[in-house]
Structure 1
Amino acid sequence: MKMMLLTAGTRGDVEPFFALARAAGARGHEVRTAIPENSGADTASLDTVSLRMDFAQLVSDQGVSPRAAARTFKTVIRPAVGRLLSAAVEHIVAFAPDVVVYHPKVLSAPAAAQRLGIPSVLVETVPALTPTREFPSPIIPAASLGPLNRFSYAPARAATLMFRRELQAALDLLPPGRTPAAGTRATLIPVSPHLLPRPADWPASVRLTGHWAAKPMAMEIDDELAAFLDGGDFVYAGFGSMKAGDARERGAAIVEAARRNGLRALVATGWGGIEVPAAVMGGDVLVRESVAHHMVLPRAAAAIHHGGAGTVHAVARAGIPSVVVPFIADQPFWGAVLHRRGLGPQPVPYRKVTADSLARALGEARSCRIQAARTGGLVRAEDGTAVAVGVLEGLAGP
């Protein structure tokens, strides 16, 4: 079976698709994955093609500011999305797959698949498109809208309207004269039911598979990092691709909060969300651009992170508490989910990060350790990619 996977966004959007690609490849399927440029994810052993859009550069240029995005919508974002949508269509046509599996940002993928007579499958890395009464859309910053929860999903589903010209231009690249298929046949949600139980009102075509994580590989770590991991209790801190506010002030607050709790600090600076000033450095602080989560998180006492879906699952899998510092989009949602599940304290919004607020949160995280360890065992027992590959195999043929 030939599977065309298409994803867009930052590393957290790419890595689940890579896990699925590797799992499908191990089952003998031919898989090609279309990805954004400079994702930072490991492409080893994978057949990948570029979607000609660099999300890393966009974040580097304008951070996570909605105002900056609004200012550059016509000059930067619209042309970039146009390139992505056209590249997606070109790759689908060239590969001629049996099934198209796509991220919601790749708006042209389902329409192209339908025009070519190919079944398609939507992947909601964040469950923001399938309405439910049980919680509002994860991109809406609200605890609950009660009976109006289902209506909160409408804005996210309207993205096609914002890029209708670019979408039409992409679809004009398709050859004419094919019989359309029935459209999107299923929705896969790579989220652990131990974090977010499946809502009762989701349709049967929506599958909560469990998280998609690649099989952990043993990796060599350098002597400095190995010595740090062996040196006593520490907190991991990293905000991935998030970049907003005063990164130096945030780095100093993290180090001070760790010290007040008797912890050392392993800091991953990522794309610039944290900078540790030289004045607060010491033998109890190690700074890296990035580290392999599966190698360091199980050794940590807790993790301070932005609450992206991928990091949320990595920390949960490691069996340690989370202190979520949300910046945008679905991150407040995941912070609230972890708090409700007893896996971390109330989230600390990035604008409210101080040494005092983080020190309190780290102190509260201690009471979450037993529940976090129990949940970690359950998440590690999941095999979400196997469930997803089984669904895709069931769609083979007309």
Structure 2
Amino acid sequence: MRIMLLTAGTRGDVEPFVALARHATSRGHDVRLALPDDAGAPEGVGTVPLGLDARRVLSPAGRAPWALARHALAEVRPAMRRMLAAAVRETVAFDPDVVVHHPLVLTAPMVADALGVPRVLVEFAPVATPSARFPAAGGPTATRDLGTHNRSTYAVPRAAARLFEGDVARAAAELPGGRRPSWRSPSRATLMAVSPVLLPRPDDWPEQVHQTGAWHEEAPAASCGPVVTDFLAAGPVVVASFGSMATGDASARGAAVVAAARSHGLRVLLVTGWGGLALPPEHRGPDVLAVPSVPFDAVLPHATLAVHHGGAGTSHAVARAGVPAVVVPVTADQPFWAAQLHRQGVAAAAVPLRRLTAGALAPAMGDALTRRGRAAEVGRLMRREHGVQRALDVLESL
């Protein structure tokens, strides 16, 4: 089977697709993965770029309304336009038997219809599949149960997608004949790459929604290097990462994490990522190691506690490792996951970003440390899931 995989976004949106691509290739399928330009070229996977630099798109020069508006016009809109057109162009060139896509790839339905092949939507958090049991993960009310009004919150992501309707229409020039199909067929299936341990399946999702569990590499974890390995072995460690979230004062956040960890006698592995965390000179010491990135699957099993931003990928990786957490959500689906991890007993109540100080973080760390037993239990259950295998079983059944 020829499988076209289309994803857009940050590391948490790319790595699961890479895991699926590798597993599908190992089972004899011909796979093409279209991904952001700054994601690199993962080994063992045939890839094509989408003309999108996720880091530039997510890094405005300022937070003032005028700066954000200028960034949207100068960076976001052109990048989305390039990505939507490239997704069509590369899919047509590959001529797949099935199109599997991230919700941000808004032209996937159009090109699948034009080629007459089935389309499969992938969700890493419930944003496109409505439920009355909880609100949309990316909406403004993601942490509040609105009861009978929960379903209405899923209109927010749909409205955001309509902002790019003109760019979708322009991308039709890349289709055979250069015209958009007059119909839109529904997705043949939805792959909800979410652990049922963290989010039990609601009773109102339709049958074509397959909750596979999270997608991750099932091969042995990559080495994290001798420096990190020795640091992890020297005593209890907090692993702190804000991933691609670079909003605000990174040094102040790093200082808060280090000071709060020291109040509990914990050492700190500070993963600076795209600049969301930084280590101020006055907080350096033998009990702190700052690194730009690490393979989480290699590091987290040795952690006592994690402090993170609540992205879907990080939330699942920390929970799968059996590590309790303090979540400091920033945007998008992160408040949803922060609340869900707390409900499942594996994280303290979320610490708002604007209140991130050592004084706020220290008691949250203390609360999280009392949850080690529950975190270990959840980790054991999640490690029994084989998300990429189940996802590929669904695709093969098409």
Alignment partner, residue 357 of structure 2: 354
Instruction: Verify the 8 A CA contact 1:118 1:181 in the aligned structure 2.
Output: no
Decide which moves more: 23-32 or 95-104. 23-32
1:155-204 residue CA offsets vs partner (Å, 9 max, x unmatched): 20123421122111111221139997844111111000000001100111
Counterparts of 2:282 and 2:380, CA distance in 1:
39
CA distance in 1, matches of 2:31, 2:229: 36
Partner of 1:151: 152
Deviates further, 169-178 or 329-338: 169-178
What letter is aligned with 1:11? R
Q: Which residue does 1:25 correspond to in 2?
A: 25
Residue pair 1:269, 1:287 contacting (<8 A) in 2 also: yes
Q: Which residue of 2 aligns with 1:2?
A: 2
Query: For residue 38 of structure 1, what is the aligned residue in structure 2?
Result: 38
Amino acid at match of 2:83: L
Question: 1:183-237 CA deviation, whole Å, 9 max, x = no partner?
Answer: 4111111000000001100111111111111114343343321221110101000
2:330 maps to 327
Displacement of 1:62 in angstroms is 4.0
In structure 2, the gaps of 5 or more residues are: none
In the superposition, relative to structure 1, how do residues 265 and 392 fare at CA in structure 2: closer, same or farther (>3 Å)? Answer: same
Would you say the 8 A contact 1:63–1:244 is kept in 2?
Answer: no
Does the 8 Å CA contact 1:114/1:182 hold for their aligned counterparts? Answer: yes
Q: Which residue of 2 aligns with 1:76?
A: 75
- Please give the residue correspondences for 1:167-246 in structure 2 after superposition, counting only pairs within 5 Å: 167-176=168-177, 182-246=185-249
- Counterpart-to-counterpart distance in 2, 1:364 and 1:82: 45
The residue aligned with 1:109 is 108
Classify the secondary structure of the residue corresponding to 1:388. helix
Residues in 2 aligned to 1:66 and 1:20: alpha-carbon distance in whole angstroms:
39
Q: 1:246 to 1:181 in 2, by over 3 A?
A: closer
Match of 2:294 in 1: 291
CA 1:52–1:8: 2 relative to 1, 3 Å: same
* Alignment correspondent of 1:274: 277
> Residue 58 of structure 1 aligns to which amino acid in structure 2?
V
**1 CA distance for matches of 2:172 and 2:88?**
7
Q: For residues 64 and 31 of structure 1, what CA distance do their matches in structure 2 show?
A: 40
**TM-score, normalised via structure 2 length:** 0.95
Query: Are the aligned partners of 2:109 and 2:185 in contact in 1 as well (CA < 8 Å)?
Result: no
Distance (Å, rounded) in 1 between the aligned partners of 2:132 and 2:260: 38
The residue matched to 2:268 in structure 1 has which SS?
strand
CA distance in 2, matches of 1:253, 1:181: 50
Aligned to 2:391: 388
Residue identity in the other structure for 1:119: P
CA contact (8 A) 1:212 1:384 kept: yes
- 1:69 CA drift (Å): 3.7
Contact 2:60–2:67 (CA under 8 A) maintained in structure 1 = no
Distance 1:179 1:161 in 2: 17
2:5–2:34 CA contact under 8 A, matched in 1: yes
Indicate yes or no: 2:306 matched with 1:307.
Answer: no
Question: TM-score normalized by structure 1?
Answer: 0.95
SS of the residue 1:139 aligns to: coil
d(CA) in 1 for partners of 2:318 and 2:287? 22
**Counterpart residue identity of residue 323, structure 2:** I
The answer on 1:258 being equivalent to 2:282 is no
Distance 1:246 1:92, change over 3 A: same
Residue by residue over 1:365-384, the C-alpha shift from the partner in whole angstroms, topping out at 9 and shown as x without a partner, is: 11110010011011111001
User: 1-side partners of 2:65 and 2:317: how far apart?
Assistant: 27
Q: What SS does structure 1 have at the residue aligned with 2:134? A: coil
Q: CA deviation at 1:245?
A: 1.2
Q: Which runs of 4+ in 1 moved over 6 A?
A: 63-67, 177-181
Inter-partner Cα distance in structure 2 for 1:356 and 1:339: 20
* Residues in 2 aligned to 1:69 and 1:105: alpha-carbon distance in whole angstroms: 20
What is the Cα deviation at residue 66 of structure 1? Answer: 7.3
**Amino acid aligned to 2:362:** A
Moved more, 204-213 or 137-146: 137-146
Contact 2:224 2:294 in 1 (8 A): no
Q: In the alignment, residue 265 of structure 2 is paired with which amino acid?
A: G
Matched AA of 2:275:
G
Asked if the contact 1:113/1:183 (under 8 Å) is kept, the reply is no
**Contact conserved, 1:307 with 1:331, CA < 8 A, in 2?**
yes
CA offset digits 1:4-39 (Å, max 9, x no partner): 000000010001111111111111111100000112
For 1:376, the equivalent position in structure 2 comes to: 379
The residue matched to 2:188 in structure 1 has which SS? Answer: strand
CA shift in 2, pair 1:141/1:343, >3 Å: farther
Question: Following the alignment from structure 2 to structure 1, what is the Cα–Cα distance between the partners of residues 226 and 375?
Answer: 29
CA contact (8 A) 1:63 1:242 kept: no
**Contact in 2 for aligned 1:100/1:121 (Cα 8 Å):** yes
Residues 340-389 of structure 1 deviation map (CA, whole Å, 9 limit, x = unaligned): 00001101111110001111111001111001001101111100111111
Which whole-Å CA distance do the structure 2 matches of 1:66 and 1:239 have between them? 23
Displacement after TM superposition at 1:305 (Å): 0.3
Amino acid at match of 1:120: R
Which one-letter code corresponds to 1:286 in the other structure?
A: L
How many residues were matched structurally?
Answer: 394
Q: Residues of 2 paired with 1:205 and 1:65: CA distance?
A: 43
- 1:95 and 1:320 mapped to 2: Cα distance? 41
Write the letter of the residue equivalent to 1:334.
W
Bigger Cα displacement from structure 2, 74-83 vs 93-102: 74-83
Give the match's secondary structure for 2:28.
Answer: coil
Paired amino acid for 2:260: A
The answer to whether the 8 Å contact 1:305/1:322 transfers is: yes
